[in-house]
Chain A
Amino acid sequence: MAPRPTGIAMSESLRPVSKLETGIAGLDQITLGGLPEGRTTLVAGSTGTGKTQLALEFLIRGMEQYDQAGVFVTFEERPEDIRRNAAAFGMDIESWEAAGKWAFVDASDEGDEPNVVVGGYDLGGLVSRVAYAVRRVSAARVCFDSLGAVFGRFADVGVVRFELKRAADALREMNVTSILTAERTDEYGAISRFDVEEFVADNVVLLRNVLEKEKRRRTVEVLKQRGSPHRTGEWVFTIDPEQGLVVLPLSVQVSDQPASTERVTTGIDELDQMLDGGIYRDTVALAAGPTGTGKTLLATHFIAAGVDAGERCLLFTFEDSRDQLFRNTNSWDLDLEAMEATGSLQIICEYPELASLEDHFLSLKKAIDDFKPDRLVVDNISALERVATARGMRDTAIGLGAYVKQHGVTTLFTASSDLVGGSSITESHLSTLTDVIVLLRYVELEAEMRRSVTVLKMRGSSHDRLIREYVIDDQGMRIGEPLAGASGVILPSVAAGHGAGAPSSNG
C-alpha cells in the first residue's frame, strides 16, 4: 500500500450510500467499492485523459461481469465509432444491442448546419429518449459523453444545465448509476468549464494526463463521493490493449495471511548460512550492487535452487536477451535453457524502452497470474528508471511488492547502485519494502579490486553482520571469509569521513 494515498475521506452525510462496483480493475479499490448507486458521477479531465474510455468501460464491465444492461448517450462520437473502439478490445457491442441489453442514444451532431433557434426550448427530446432507452433495455448504467459537446451545440447554458439536472434526477428515480464526462482546461484548476458541479458535485472523479520529466503519466483521483468513504490522492492508470483501463497499484491491501516461518534456500549455501538458514518463503528480497558484481549470477542461483526444489520459477529480465542470458549462465555451469525446457521455469525478456512503466507492471502481473510461480526474479528493476519518474518508480515498486506478497511468491529483485556504493533511486524506494537486503560491493584492498557481500537487513531473523569476500568462477558465486581491514564498504568509515549515503538498515 502506497504511503501517500492512504487517507480515507469521510463525508458529513450520515446516510450511507450503497455503491455499485464498476468492474474496472483498480477503480473499485480506490473508490472503496465503486460508484454511488443511483447517482451521477462527474468524470472530468482535459483532452486525451481517457474520459470516454472510462465511460465506455463502465458500461462494458457492467455487461460482462455483472450482466447489467447499459445505455450510452453520445454527443460526440457516432455509435459506429464507439462500436469499433470497443471491438478493438474484443467487445462486441452489436451482439449486446441485438440481445436488448445495450442501447445507444445517438445525440451526436449530424454534421450539417448549426441549430437554428427561434424562441425558448428545453431538452425534452433528449430526456425522454434516455428514459425510453433505459426502460427498453432495463439499464442499470448510463453514461453521457460528453458535456462539452452538448454545451457546444446549445447556446443557452442555463437551459442545458437545468435539463441535465432533470436527466440526472430522472435516472436517480430509476435507480440508474450514471457517468457524465466533462472537459477541463487545466489539470489542476476548476473541475469543469461548465459549472455543472452544482448538481453532480456530490461525486467527482478527475482524470489527468501529466507530462512529468518527459514522461506521460495518466492518473485518476476520486475528488469526492458524498456520503461514502473513498481513497484520496492520484493513482496511476494505464489503458492496456487487452485489459482496458487499469488503475494501479491493483492491490492496495496487504496480505492478511500469517507470515511464513518456512525457510527456503537462496541457492548459495554460504549465503543461506549468513541468513541464518535461508530466507522465509514469503520474502521479498533485494540484491543491490554496481554493475559486474554478480547480481544476475545471484539471481540465477536463486532460480536454479527453486527449479531443483520442484518449484515453479519466473525470471523477468530487463537486462539481457535470451541468448545473452544463456551464454552468461552457461559459463557458470548453470543451464537455464535446460531448466526452461522442463517447464518449471519461464523466462521473459523485455526491453524497458518498449513500454511504459505501467505497462511493464501489468505484463509482470499478468505473467504472475498466468504462470503462478513460487519464485520470481526481476533482473534488473533499476532498468525501469529509464522509462519512469521517481514517483512512478516508487508506486510501481510498492504495487509490485504488495502483489507478490499477497500471492506468497518468494521474490528477488536486483537493483543497480553506484560503482562506489551509495544508493540509487530504486534501491531507496525498495529498501523499506523488502524483507531482505543483500549488498554486493567492490572493495579496494591492497591495490586489488575485490568483491564483498553483506546482509544489510533481514526481517524477523538474525543474520550475519560481517562483510564477506566472494569470488566468481566457473562454479558460480562462492562466499568466503570476512574481509579483514576493509571499511567504508557499506558506510563511509570514520577515518575516511566522507562518501555517499547508504541505504538505511532499519526496515
Chain B
Amino acid sequence: MITLWRLRLLTQRYATCFVSTLVEMQSEEIYAFRIFVTGDSLRSQRAIDNLRGLCASVLAEQADIEVVDVLTSPERAESEKVIATPTVLRLSPAPARRVIGDLADYHMAAAALGLRSSDGSSTDGHRDE
C-alpha cells in the first residue's frame, strides 16, 4: 500500500517537473522587446521597422514588441533609466539585453539582441547563449 502511494506521489512529482520544463522551453521561444524612441522621428520609425524586420526574418513566431515614446511617457524612460534613444530592451528570454541605436546593421543588431534564426542557427555566427 505504502509503496503504491509513494509511486503515485513520485509520478505526480515527475509530471509537475515535466510540465514546468515544457513551459520554460516554450517561454524561451517567445521573444519580447521594448523599444524606447523619441517621438515620431525618422530615426524612431527606422528603428521600429528594423526591429520588426529582424524579428520577422529570424523568429518563427511573432515577437512581442512594445513601443514607448519618451516624449509622452517620460516616467517610463525614468524607471528604465533610458538615456539614449532608440534603446531596445530584450525582456525575454532571459538574460535581458539592452542595445542602443536604430539597428541599422542587420547582423550586428541580431547578434547584439541574441536572435537566432528559426532553423536554430545563429544569424551570423556571433556568440549566442
Contact = CB atoms under 8 A, between A and B. Distances in A.
Bind each other:
yes
A120 B74 contact: no
Where chain B touches its partner, the secondary structure class is: mixed
Contacts of B75: 132
A125 B70 contact: yes
B78 A118 contact: no
A121 B85 contact: yes
A121 B100 contact: yes
B70 A124 contact: yes
A123 B70 contact: no
Contact of B77 (A115, A118, A129): A129
Contact of B83 (A118, A126, A131, A133): A126
B60 interface: no
B40 to A, nearest CB: 12
B104 A125 contact: no
Interface of B: 36-39, 43, 47, 50, 70-71, 74-75, 77-78, 81-87, 97-105, 108-109, 112
Max count, chain A CB within 10 A of own CB: residue among B70, B84, B87:
B84
A105 interface: yes
A128 interface: yes
A117 B103 CA distance: 8
A9 interface: no
Nearest to A132: B74
Contacts of B47: 119
Contacts of B77: 125, 128-129, 132
Contact of A118 (B36, B81, B82, B100): B100
Contacts of A126: 83-84
Max count, chain B CB within 10 A of own CB: residue among A106, A115, A123, A125:
A125
A128 B71 CA distance: 6
A105 B78 contact: yes
Given A118-B100, A119-B101, A120-B102, A125 B112 contact: no
B27 to A, nearest CB: 23
A118 B112 CA distance: 8
